[in-house]
A and B are shown apart, each in its own frame.
Chain A
Amino acid sequence: MDLATIVTALDLKVCCGADKLNRKVTGGFTGDLLSDVMAHSGEGDLWITRQIHQNIIAVASLKDHAGIVLVQGSEPARDTLEKAVTEGIPILVSDRPGFETAGMIYDILKVRGG
Protein backbone atom coordinates (compact mmCIF):
# COMPACT_ATOMS: atom_id res chain seq x y z
CA MET A 1 0.00 0.00 0.00
CA ASP A 2 1.49 3.33 -0.98
CA LEU A 3 0.89 6.70 0.67
CA ALA A 4 -0.86 8.07 -2.40
CA THR A 5 -3.68 5.52 -2.07
CA ILE A 6 -4.31 6.55 1.54
CA VAL A 7 -4.09 10.26 0.67
CA THR A 8 -6.77 9.79 -1.99
CA ALA A 9 -9.03 7.53 0.07
CA LEU A 10 -9.11 9.90 3.06
CA ASP A 11 -8.77 13.09 1.04
CA LEU A 12 -5.73 14.10 3.08
CA LYS A 13 -4.04 17.43 2.59
CA VAL A 14 -0.38 17.00 1.65
CA CYS A 15 1.61 19.66 3.52
CA CYS A 16 4.96 18.36 2.34
CA GLY A 17 6.49 15.26 0.79
CA ALA A 18 4.29 15.27 -2.33
CA ASP A 19 7.24 13.67 -4.15
CA LYS A 20 7.31 10.82 -1.63
CA LEU A 21 3.76 9.53 -1.95
CA ASN A 22 4.99 6.37 -3.63
CA ARG A 23 6.44 5.37 -0.27
CA LYS A 24 5.16 2.05 1.05
CA VAL A 25 3.01 2.03 4.17
CA THR A 26 3.32 -1.25 6.08
CA GLY A 27 1.37 -0.35 9.20
CA GLY A 28 0.12 2.43 11.40
CA PHE A 29 0.55 3.79 14.87
CA THR A 30 -1.57 6.24 16.85
CA GLY A 31 -0.06 8.16 19.72
CA ASP A 32 0.73 11.55 21.20
CA LEU A 33 3.26 10.42 23.80
CA LEU A 34 6.61 10.46 22.06
CA SER A 35 8.16 7.74 24.23
CA ASP A 36 5.23 5.49 23.41
CA VAL A 37 5.75 6.10 19.71
CA MET A 38 9.50 5.52 20.05
CA ALA A 39 8.97 2.21 21.83
CA HIS A 40 6.07 0.72 19.92
CA SER A 41 5.84 2.06 16.40
CA GLY A 42 7.69 0.43 13.55
CA GLU A 43 9.49 1.11 10.33
CA GLY A 44 7.09 1.91 7.50
CA ASP A 45 4.29 2.94 9.88
CA LEU A 46 2.04 5.88 9.18
CA TRP A 47 2.04 7.82 12.45
CA ILE A 48 -1.28 9.40 13.40
CA THR A 49 -0.99 12.16 15.99
CA ARG A 50 -2.28 15.44 17.39
CA GLN A 51 1.21 16.76 18.09
CA ILE A 52 2.26 19.45 15.64
CA HIS A 53 5.58 20.67 17.08
CA GLN A 54 8.91 20.05 15.40
CA ASN A 55 10.04 17.21 17.68
CA ILE A 56 7.68 14.81 15.90
CA ILE A 57 9.99 14.95 12.86
CA ALA A 58 12.98 13.56 14.77
CA VAL A 59 10.79 10.73 16.06
CA ALA A 60 9.37 9.89 12.62
CA SER A 61 12.84 10.05 11.11
CA LEU A 62 14.49 7.90 13.81
CA LYS A 63 11.72 5.31 13.46
CA ASP A 64 11.70 5.40 9.63
CA HIS A 65 7.99 6.11 9.49
CA ALA A 66 6.34 6.33 6.08
CA GLY A 67 4.84 9.66 7.10
CA ILE A 68 2.85 11.59 9.70
CA VAL A 69 -0.89 12.22 9.66
CA LEU A 70 -2.05 15.17 11.75
CA VAL A 71 -5.67 14.81 12.77
CA GLN A 72 -8.60 17.14 13.39
CA GLY A 73 -7.34 19.52 10.72
CA SER A 74 -4.25 20.44 12.74
CA GLU A 75 -1.68 22.34 10.71
CA PRO A 76 2.00 21.67 11.38
CA ALA A 77 3.99 24.45 13.05
CA ARG A 78 6.23 26.29 10.59
CA ASP A 79 9.50 24.88 12.00
CA THR A 80 7.90 21.41 11.91
CA LEU A 81 7.28 21.82 8.20
CA GLU A 82 10.82 23.07 7.59
CA LYS A 83 12.30 20.09 9.42
CA ALA A 84 9.99 17.67 7.63
CA VAL A 85 11.20 18.95 4.26
CA THR A 86 14.85 18.62 5.35
CA GLU A 87 14.35 15.11 6.73
CA GLY A 88 12.09 14.00 3.88
CA ILE A 89 9.11 13.12 6.08
CA PRO A 90 5.70 13.56 4.41
CA ILE A 91 3.19 15.46 6.56
CA LEU A 92 -0.48 14.86 5.79
CA VAL A 93 -3.52 16.44 7.41
CA SER A 94 -6.85 14.77 8.05
CA ASP A 95 -9.94 16.85 8.82
CA ARG A 96 -11.39 13.91 10.72
CA PRO A 97 -10.78 13.13 14.39
CA GLY A 98 -8.05 10.67 15.35
CA PHE A 99 -10.37 7.71 15.94
CA GLU A 100 -11.99 7.99 12.54
CA THR A 101 -8.70 8.64 10.74
CA ALA A 102 -7.03 5.63 12.36
CA GLY A 103 -10.08 3.45 11.67
CA MET A 104 -10.13 4.31 7.99
CA ILE A 105 -6.40 3.77 7.56
CA TYR A 106 -6.64 0.50 9.47
CA ASP A 107 -9.40 -0.64 7.16
CA ILE A 108 -7.47 0.24 4.04
CA LEU A 109 -4.33 -1.55 5.25
CA LYS A 110 -6.28 -4.57 6.44
CA VAL A 111 -8.60 -4.96 3.50
CA ARG A 112 -6.22 -4.05 0.71
CA GLY A 113 -3.08 -5.31 2.41
CA GLY A 114 0.08 -3.57 3.68
Chain B
Amino acid sequence: MLAHETTLYENQFPVEGGNFDKAGQVSSQIKAILKRMNLSNEIIRRVALVSYESEINIVSYARKGYIHIQVKPDYVLIEAIDEGDGIPDLELAMQQGWSTASQRIREMGFGAGMGLCNIKNFSDFFRISSDVGKGTQLKMVIKIDKVFDGI
Protein backbone atom coordinates (compact mmCIF):
# COMPACT_ATOMS: atom_id res chain seq x y z
CA MET B 1 0.00 0.00 0.00
CA LEU B 2 1.24 3.46 -0.85
CA ALA B 3 1.94 5.77 2.04
CA HIS B 4 -0.68 8.32 0.98
CA GLU B 5 -3.36 5.64 1.09
CA THR B 6 -2.83 4.94 4.77
CA THR B 7 -6.05 5.38 6.72
CA LEU B 8 -5.34 7.35 9.87
CA TYR B 9 -8.84 7.00 11.26
CA GLU B 10 -12.12 5.49 10.20
CA ASN B 11 -15.44 5.11 11.94
CA GLN B 12 -19.17 5.07 11.42
CA PHE B 13 -21.63 6.83 13.75
CA PRO B 14 -25.35 6.05 13.80
CA VAL B 15 -27.75 9.01 13.77
CA GLU B 16 -31.31 8.73 15.03
CA GLY B 17 -34.01 10.36 12.91
CA GLY B 18 -36.30 12.81 14.70
CA ASN B 19 -34.30 12.98 17.91
CA PHE B 20 -33.30 16.60 18.38
CA ASP B 21 -32.14 15.91 21.95
CA LYS B 22 -29.12 14.12 20.52
CA ALA B 23 -28.65 16.26 17.42
CA GLY B 24 -25.04 17.36 17.13
CA GLN B 25 -23.58 14.65 19.35
CA VAL B 26 -21.96 12.77 16.47
CA SER B 27 -20.37 15.95 15.13
CA SER B 28 -19.06 16.81 18.60
CA GLN B 29 -17.49 13.35 18.82
CA ILE B 30 -15.93 13.72 15.38
CA LYS B 31 -14.56 17.15 16.29
CA ALA B 32 -13.00 15.76 19.48
CA ILE B 33 -11.36 12.91 17.55
CA LEU B 34 -9.89 15.23 14.92
CA LYS B 35 -8.59 17.52 17.67
CA ARG B 36 -6.77 14.58 19.24
CA MET B 37 -5.29 13.83 15.81
CA ASN B 38 -3.84 17.35 15.77
CA LEU B 39 -5.43 18.42 12.50
CA SER B 40 -5.45 22.17 11.89
CA ASN B 41 -8.28 24.27 13.34
CA GLU B 42 -9.38 25.21 9.84
CA ILE B 43 -9.82 21.57 8.77
CA ILE B 44 -11.58 20.70 12.04
CA ARG B 45 -13.88 23.70 11.65
CA ARG B 46 -14.89 22.66 8.14
CA VAL B 47 -15.32 18.96 8.96
CA ALA B 48 -17.42 19.89 12.01
CA LEU B 49 -19.69 22.10 9.90
CA VAL B 50 -20.13 19.55 7.13
CA SER B 51 -20.76 16.79 9.65
CA TYR B 52 -23.17 18.92 11.70
CA GLU B 53 -25.30 19.97 8.75
CA SER B 54 -25.43 16.35 7.53
CA GLU B 55 -26.36 15.15 10.99
CA ILE B 56 -29.13 17.73 11.32
CA ASN B 57 -30.51 16.71 7.92
CA ILE B 58 -30.74 13.08 9.02
CA VAL B 59 -32.39 14.07 12.32
CA SER B 60 -34.80 16.43 10.53
CA TYR B 61 -35.82 14.38 7.52
CA ALA B 62 -34.84 10.71 7.78
CA ARG B 63 -35.84 7.70 9.88
CA LYS B 64 -32.24 6.88 10.62
CA GLY B 65 -28.82 7.09 9.10
CA TYR B 66 -25.15 7.20 9.78
CA ILE B 67 -22.11 9.35 9.27
CA HIS B 68 -19.00 7.64 8.05
CA ILE B 69 -15.67 9.37 8.41
CA GLN B 70 -12.31 8.42 7.05
CA VAL B 71 -9.14 10.42 7.65
CA LYS B 72 -6.27 10.01 5.17
CA PRO B 73 -3.01 11.97 5.20
CA ASP B 74 -4.28 14.17 2.35
CA TYR B 75 -7.98 14.49 3.04
CA VAL B 76 -11.00 13.79 5.24
CA LEU B 77 -13.89 11.89 3.67
CA ILE B 78 -17.34 12.30 5.22
CA GLU B 79 -20.34 10.33 4.04
CA ALA B 80 -23.87 10.76 5.36
CA ILE B 81 -26.24 7.97 4.39
CA ASP B 82 -29.84 7.87 5.49
CA GLU B 83 -32.99 5.82 5.21
CA GLY B 84 -35.92 8.10 4.60
CA ASP B 85 -38.20 9.65 2.03
CA GLY B 86 -35.36 10.83 -0.17
CA ILE B 87 -35.33 14.03 -2.24
CA PRO B 88 -37.39 14.09 -5.46
CA ASP B 89 -35.75 17.20 -6.95
CA LEU B 90 -32.08 17.58 -6.05
CA GLU B 91 -31.67 20.79 -8.01
CA LEU B 92 -34.43 22.41 -5.97
CA ALA B 93 -33.03 21.02 -2.71
CA MET B 94 -29.67 22.62 -3.49
CA GLN B 95 -31.23 26.07 -3.84
CA GLN B 96 -30.44 28.43 -0.98
CA GLY B 97 -33.57 29.05 1.07
CA TRP B 98 -35.58 26.11 -0.24
CA SER B 99 -36.75 23.76 2.49
CA THR B 100 -39.49 21.25 3.29
CA ALA B 101 -38.92 21.60 7.03
CA SER B 102 -41.90 21.54 9.37
CA GLN B 103 -42.87 24.55 11.47
CA ARG B 104 -41.50 22.81 14.57
CA ILE B 105 -38.09 22.38 12.95
CA ARG B 106 -38.05 25.97 11.71
CA GLU B 107 -38.91 27.35 15.15
CA MET B 108 -35.70 25.82 16.46
CA GLY B 109 -33.72 27.72 13.85
CA PHE B 110 -33.22 24.76 11.54
CA GLY B 111 -34.76 24.25 8.11
CA ALA B 112 -33.75 27.59 6.66
CA GLY B 113 -32.69 25.97 3.41
CA MET B 114 -29.02 26.68 4.05
CA GLY B 115 -27.64 23.32 5.13
CA LEU B 116 -26.83 21.71 1.80
CA CYS B 117 -25.39 25.00 0.47
CA ASN B 118 -23.19 25.23 3.55
CA ILE B 119 -21.99 21.68 3.02
CA LYS B 120 -21.17 22.40 -0.61
CA ASN B 121 -19.42 25.69 0.19
CA PHE B 122 -17.25 24.19 2.91
CA SER B 123 -16.24 21.03 1.01
CA ASP B 124 -13.61 20.60 -1.68
CA PHE B 125 -15.73 17.85 -3.20
CA PHE B 126 -19.45 17.32 -2.72
CA ARG B 127 -21.84 14.82 -4.23
CA ILE B 128 -25.47 14.21 -3.40
CA SER B 129 -27.67 11.41 -4.63
CA SER B 130 -31.10 10.33 -3.52
CA ASP B 131 -33.59 7.52 -4.09
CA VAL B 132 -37.16 8.61 -3.47
CA GLY B 133 -38.73 6.41 -0.82
CA LYS B 134 -35.36 4.97 0.19
CA GLY B 135 -32.98 7.66 1.29
CA THR B 136 -30.25 10.17 0.56
CA GLN B 137 -26.49 9.86 0.26
CA LEU B 138 -23.99 12.67 0.71
CA LYS B 139 -20.29 12.42 0.04
CA MET B 140 -17.90 15.18 1.01
CA VAL B 141 -14.14 15.51 0.84
CA ILE B 142 -12.10 18.12 2.66
CA LYS B 143 -8.52 18.32 1.49
CA ILE B 144 -5.94 18.67 4.21
CA ASP B 145 -3.18 20.27 2.14
CA LYS B 146 -5.32 22.80 0.30
CA VAL B 147 -5.65 26.44 1.26
CA PHE B 148 -9.38 26.99 1.52
CA ASP B 149 -10.76 29.86 -0.52
CA GLY B 150 -14.48 29.40 0.13
CA ILE B 151 -16.53 31.28 2.73
Interface size, chain B (Cβ < 8 Å):
25
B25 with A51: CB separation less than 8 A: no
A43 with B41: CB separation less than 8 A: yes
A62 with B48: CB separation less than 8 A: yes
B49 with A36: CB separation less than 8 A: no
Q: Mark B40-69, 1 if CB is under 8 A from A, else 0.
A: 010001001100110010000000000000
A55 with B41: CB separation less than 8 A: no
Q: From DSSP, what is the main secondary structure of chain B's interface residues?
A: helix
B112 with A36: CB separation less than 8 A: yes
A39 with B24: CB separation less than 8 A: no
> Which residues from chain B contact A54 at a C-beta distance below 8 Å?
20-21
Within the complex, which residue of B23, B52, B56, B109 is in contact with A51, where a contact is CB–CB below 8 Å? B109
Contact of A38 with B53 at beta-carbon distance under 8 Å, contacts A58-B27, A62-B48 already known: yes
Interface size, chain A (Cβ < 8 Å):
23
A55 with B114: CB separation less than 8 A: no
B27 with A55: CB separation less than 8 A: no
Instruction: Give residues of chain A (34-64) contacting chain B, Cβ–Cβ below 8 Å.
Output: 34-36, 38-40, 43, 49, 51, 53-59, 61-63
Query: A107 at the A/B interface (Cβ < 8 Å)?
Result: no
A33 with B109: CB separation less than 8 A: yes
Query: B70 at the A/B interface (Cβ < 8 Å)?
Result: no
Q: From DSSP, what is the main secondary structure of chain A's interface residues?
A: helix
Q: Mark A57-74, 1 if CB is under 8 A from B, else 0.
A: 111011100000000000
Within the complex, which residue of A39, A49, A58, A61 is in contact with B121, where a contact is CB–CB below 8 Å? A39
Query: B110 at the A/B interface (Cβ < 8 Å)?
Result: yes
Instruction: Give residues of chain B (15-48) contacting chain A, Cβ–Cβ below 8 Å.
Output: 20-21, 23-25, 27-28, 31, 41, 45, 48
Within the complex, which residue of B20, B31, B115 is in contact with A55, where a contact is CB–CB below 8 Å? B20
Query: A11 at the A/B interface (Cβ < 8 Å)?
Result: no
Query: B151 at the A/B interface (Cβ < 8 Å)?
Result: yes
Q: Write 22 A-B pairs (CB below 8 A) sorted by A numbering.
A: A34-B108, A34-B109, A34-B112, A35-B53, A35-B110, A36-B114, A39-B122, A39-B151, A40-B151, A43-B41, A51-B109, A53-B20, A54-B20, A54-B21, A55-B24, A55-B109, A55-B110, A58-B23, A58-B25, A58-B52, A61-B24, A61-B28
Residues of B within 8 A of A (CB): 20-21, 23-25, 27-28, 31, 41, 45, 48-49, 52-53, 56, 108-110, 112, 114-115, 118, 121-122, 151
